[in-house]
Structure 1
Amino acid sequence: MKEYCIRRYRSDTGAADSQGTLIRIDDSGRIVHADHHCEPVLGYHASELEGRPIMHLVAAQQDDLFAPTQRLRFAKDQPVLITLRHKDGFFFGAHVTLHFQVRDTDKPASAHIALRDPAQPDPHSQPLIELTGNLGSWELAIHNNRVTWSAGMYRLLDLRAGSDITAEQALSYCAGKQERVRALFRRCLRTGRPFSIDLKLLTARQRTRHVRLTGQALKSGKRVTRLAGTAVDRTRVVQLDQRRRATDQLLKTVLAANQDLVAALDPQLNLTHMNAAWEQQFSTTFKLTPRVGDNLGTLLSSFASEQGLQTRLWQQAMERVVFQAEMPLARRSRLLQGHETRLTTLQDLEGNTIGALLIARDARSHSPGAGQGGPHSAQDPVTGLPTRSQFLAHFDGLLNPPAPSTPQGGLLFIGLDNFTPLNIAAGNAAGDRYLRELAAIMAAHTNRTDLLTRLAGDTFALWLDNHSDMEARRTAQHLLEAIAAFAFDWQGKLLQTTASAGLVFVDGNASRAPEQLLSEAAELCHTAKSAGRNRVHADRASQRLPSERDHRQQLAHLQHCLDHDGLILHYQMLRPVASATWGDHIEILARLADNDADNPSVQPEAFLPIANQFSLGKQLDQQIIRKALAVLDEQPLLVHRLKYCGFNLSQASVLDEGFADWVQALLAPSPFAPDIFCFEVNESVAARYPDEVAILCDSLHAVGCKVALDGAGASVESYHLAGTLPVDIVKLDHSMMQQLPGNPVQQVMVEALHKISTAAGKLTVATFIEDEDTLRQARRLGIHFGQGFHLGSPAPLASLIPQTVTSRLQTESEG
């Protein structure tokens, strides 16, 4: 049980109110106590809150006080800012702190519980128990063959209490199971074994009752002297079960006749329902056969990237009333067509979330001119903007024109913040009018060659044609400011909200698949919402995939190298920049062996996308680490000299909860200290999964290893991550180091990131130092370490000893 202090947070002053209320919540998430200050803060009287779940007060799932993010902050004695729902319906920011000590005056009065003496039964409690539980009790005395019933037994048979009835007459109510009951009584008398049987009784009033009859032997010494038991009315339970079975059968019939993909999951992501179309699509995609009761996360445990995508998609559906999007069922197969996917929260009669329902339809059936849609489906009826299908068709034409050209621009995915409660409060008519006016505002901030569309519900997409990265980011920020400033007056109600956005930079190396780019932008938008809403998260689009034939060849080559030890390991030195440091600092690099005489090895940029797409990243990471340790363990001279050995981690390893345990087991027999090993997490992964990265850092720190944030500076989120993530080292992205000597703005950005990292107790590494001028600037700015061809080219890991230790020993002996 925990006690929280809740105060209203004022965004205009950046501080919390002095007056607060204390709320006590048990481990199941229900409010057990609220003080008298809760009414001015929350609008509820204390008696109205007691017994209600805390989710009744919070605005969304991410505001749950028991969420991992909140628990981590409370564990560090830090306050949490969440959004709560007032009794009057409006939302407000709340400043929440955790109070561990509970006042003695708030403790419940103690009460002593003792076992009731069976020899002194309460004559008033027995009838109450039988009436409440719909049961009766009976007893058979062996010495005189006399049966006694309680009033509840007579009630079950619709008889007046004390009616004259023989045992044979009682058995006649058992509707064909008389002999079975007699046999159970005889067996109980002979062996002493208890019995239980479900009976269908036809009462004196010709009513059908389903009863469970139980009995057991009572002994005096070793001799059975009595039989006693109960009869429990289970009619209501059986009727509900029959209705459930009928409903399930009806649902199965409807699902079987539906050509759409239909599936339902509970809050733990266990599969509760599915139709044949969804099962077949899932089996085709993942080569797995799902069954009702299977856990989706467990089914996709071998597909880390898809596991993360599907988990976030379903969790978002649990948090919102309706979530609609158009995307492939899975990203791992780019041959799959996009599906118009609609997810709806399933709630019980009390409003508690009990699961989510997915209905997915092939998006091609909604394309302009398909089916009954006709040409009118090319325009959204609410906003007048192009539909999603028309947008994707146009966007595909821009990405894959008939004449060779290089597209450049940005794809912006926009999701309105908290639009659902606004729409519910004002009504659908007001919500549609608001969206129509907002679409006009957004269109006014675009160029003639840009393309704006309403995807579904409260989500929009905008293609910023021929925009540089800086121009696209500036346009996105201006657009969010315009949305936040737009206030729509509807019958005296002021409708106003903010928006979050995901921006994907598209260039000649980017993927040419519109669905994939839109999915990447949607993920960035989800990250922006999780980070606090009303902001833009940007990243570069994934690289353009090769042809399907080359794709299969590269995958086969990668799998062959993993199965037949085809990894070639190199290392690159990290050199101290600001001050001298003793020892060797290296980063492990991997290549794939190739039979091409001109290119004997395949570079990481060629095979890493394939590894991540087909969930081979974790296997690749583990083979690299295992092979590197095997090489190092054979060189005892390096045990005291090697001070840093870095490994890059894929997203699959970062999200693997057992990775730290695997590292600990691997390092146990190694002569090297765990603190020389550092595992590098890419900035884009850390921005999308900050909580998971924080947990990985804590787990690896417990093993004794270090963690680095790689690629810092690739987005503005890096400055926040460098200061808040519990990493040990911050490695600057190559884009921060390019043109550093002649670009004063770049120098200021590098210096700011270095100062933030240093203030947080972290070391910094400047990568891609290619010349003396860049090295000089890195030294002037105070960067701790440098890495690049100017400081040392990559070399085979096997050559580390001759170049770094043996040669030095020979030099010292000659001196």
Structure 2
Amino acid sequence: MKEFLIKRVRTEPSSNPRASTGSLQVDEEGIIRAADDTAEALFGYGILQMQGLPMVDLVASREDNPLAPPLNDRLETGESALITALHATGYFFTINIRRSLTETDTATSQTAQIRPRQGTPLDTRILRLAEDSAGLGIWEMDPDSNRIYWSEGVFHLLDLPPGNQLDPEHVLFYFQEHQARVRRAFLSCLRRGEAFSMEVPVLTARQNQRWLRLTGHSLNDGQRSRVICGTAVDITARRADAHSAQTWKYRTQSVLAASDDLIVIMNPELEIVAVNRAYSDAFEAVFGITPNVGDQLQDLLEDHPDERRLYNRLWERAMGQEGFCVEMPLIQSDEKLPVYEIQFNRIFSPDGELLGAAHVGRSKSAPHSEAQEHVHYLNSHDPLTGLLNRRELLQRLSRALNVVRESGTPHSLAYMDLDGFSTLNARFGSGGCDRYLRALSSMLINRLRQRDTIARVASDQFVIILDNCGTDEATKVCHSLRDAVAEFEFDWRGATVQTTISGGLLPLHLEQDASPEHCLSLAADLCETAKTTGPASLSLYRPRAGIDDETATREELAQLMHAITTDAIELHFQALRPIASATWGDHVEVLSRLHREPRDDGGSYSELWRPAAFMPLAERYDLGYALDRRVIARAIEWLEANPLMQPRLKMISFNLSASSMLDEGFAREIASQIQSSSFDASSYCFEIREAHACDYPEAAKHCCNVLREIGCRIALDGAGVRGQSHRLIGELGASIVKIDETLMQGLASNPLQVVMVEALHRMATLSDAVTVAPFIEDEATLKKVRELGLHFGQGYRLTQPELLNELAPPEKTATGRTGVAGR
């Protein structure tokens, strides 16, 4: 066995002359048998990964092989040599290598003994091996120096290169919406010595979803915290197993609930694992006790010894042999009870372990009579319209929620209420309105698919479960039904009965863990809020809108409606400045600010209402398209009033909301206005957010195609937020790529963000698109953007937002001088 001592050689003046020396032990066949942690780090290999590698794989050529002559001869004499080595990632570097003078060919035979480690220092390779195999990392914080130390395991859990310099706020970013919770736990541990343990999701640097269990403990000296430390353990696999188990539980429950057969599953100890309602009802009717999951068969039949012995024999036989079938009533002593055909089958795990057996009993009695079927129909349907009633709706809604939880298939719930129905009732009476409701119900049924569910839950309220229908498609369906109801006319005694309908739309995947009653109540609240915005309105549930106080929401909604209906919109602009090279002409983005009504006390608001505050509200209540229409129309009017802008205006861009994309007629309407404008269509640009394009892909493509057909430009806004920019640039035909705010903030100090921004810039360049770096707020960010070569910049460091009128060019006066009109 030969031992080689190696040390990296650097030519930089600032390199450390005292670089650590690593060790490699190589056998006579040239195979590496041992490597210390310094050698592993030097060559870029993980723990124990170098063992078994040929030494020749670590060098650049045969001349650099320390086992081949003449280099081997030099090393045998005790000389050292410089050779070119090959890193695991593929690059070459120089090392100094020499033979160790210590003999390692023989080993002293010792008797193995086990001792507690106690104060013996732990080999760092053992720690790394433990972290890799267990999926954990160790962290430590010194309050005196305010420094946090990580083991390599923590870096690996967050998909970060070991040794990367990070600040605590950057680390909290990976915890997304759980940042405040993690921060509170750390502060409590630091200040009061409170230990913590929590399970939290993280989004790693490579955009991987991962679940971690974070623990923290305070090690103190009795007076103050000396240090706090803890672990981070990857529990993603365990959570996935638990989710899979829960999914199978829901599937089992759904299958059991959907069957009228008597189904029960027992484990080998004859304990009930699963049971359906049909079996429970039949068992209770016969034995006077309700069987539940966890009950023992012996305990349930304690008062029926004959049946207990019979069922014991049947279940023991079911556990010990292949499936068999018997015909018998549930209890032998009563001949009047129905006879069941009962099938027993064993259940095994994938490893062949016996998990239990299943009992499926099917009645051999005659089917239900027509009278029973009629009673069932009356119990589940509305007598006036023939639609389902509330009770049957809740049962089907429960099954729909189970499907969403199990398979992730999107379902949506629409709660719709006729506008002004009480007025119709007073005018046409109950007879006319009842006939109108029946005719309207038939029309709604014909416009829905056969697999959809529609129910009447109140005199003028309908609820629809849209099967396998996501948010995008469900919104289109609701808009279609809204238009159909508005156009529907019913003749009654020479008069026309006609009204509109408003609704609330709840995508069930957003509340999949809620009860059917809660979902129905939530959809009803959305519908009520939609009616406050006016007739024929639709309110879409958006849980991330950040609006919790319903009273405050309604007040803000009234302010928003006032601004839209009274055109209390003030247009501003912010210029885009060229970064890579000088470009002539104006490139601007239109911004909107809203004026609010005076307060109840007569006072006025000191600041204009900004988009960050009112857009979530507009999106939630489907008002974004109305606001976008007014902003774009006002901007086009302003351009027509300033014809001298034509030679210098190169681009004027507008942000489009999600509701504008989802409105099928929006793009056509805007395209018609632009075609009527005296400005070239290529000067208009419309920004589509990457998140919206991912959530509503078909609507985004339709909107972009309509606008591009007339020559408008498309910008992909928020690029990088979903990691789909490479696909969306081509699908949307984007000629401008606007980097997301989260990638721009702290760009100068975060190398990972620099890599992502550079990658987006390269993708855009290859697609013949220009890049825009928004939110440039300081000199450091501007310098980094210049280094990366992005084309345009935007932000307070470059330009401040101004009133749109400030963009107007100076007009020539009668004397030939220039001046601004109105000044």
Structure 1 length as normaliser, TM-score? 0.38
Pick the structure with greater CA Rg.
2
Structure 2 length as normaliser, TM-score? 0.38
